[in-house]
Amino acid sequence: MDIIETIKKQIEENSIILYMKGSPNAPQCGFSAKASQAVMACGQRFAYVDILSNPDIRANLPKYANWPTFPQLWVNGELVGGCDIIVQMHESGELKPIIDAAAPKEEASE
């Protein structure tokens, strides 16, 4: 599978995915730290990809997304944006409803 197919599959299979430097609990840059904190504050589980340990994704995602920088937040297959947009949406209250709507619903156990 080529790298673009891998990226497409990740975005399709994860309703909320953050491409970032490091991990949400150990971000490797300030922008990734701010973005992951904003997404975590929404209270839903989300997938992430550490682009530092995935150089092929780091090299090809900007071309695929037509977005040059990281982090990148994708929700339901759509690029939401990078750090500034994510933080701005979080501060204005726009991010949580989008994240909540995209979050996988827990199966009710009886």
Q: Is residue 28 part of a domain?
A: yes
- Tally the domains of the chain: 1
Q: What is the pLDDT of residue 108?
A: 46
29 marked ligand binding residue: yes
Residue 5 reports pLDDT greater than 70: yes
- CATH number for the domain spanning 68: value is 3.40.30.10
21 marked ligand binding residue: yes
Q: Which amino acid is at 28?
A: Q
**Do 99 and 39 contact (CB within 8 A), yes or no?**
yes
Nearest to 67 by CA among 104, 15, 38, 31: 31
DSSP letter, residue 104 = P
Q: What is the pLDDT of residue 106?
A: 58
* Helix boundaries (H) for 1-110: 3-13, 30-40, 55-65, 83-92, 95-102
Range of the domain at 36: 3-102
Q: What are the pLDDT digits (tens) for 50-85? A: 999 999 999 999 999 999 999 999 999 999 999 999
70 marked ligand binding residue: yes
**Do 19 and 57 contact (CB within 8 A), yes or no?**
yes
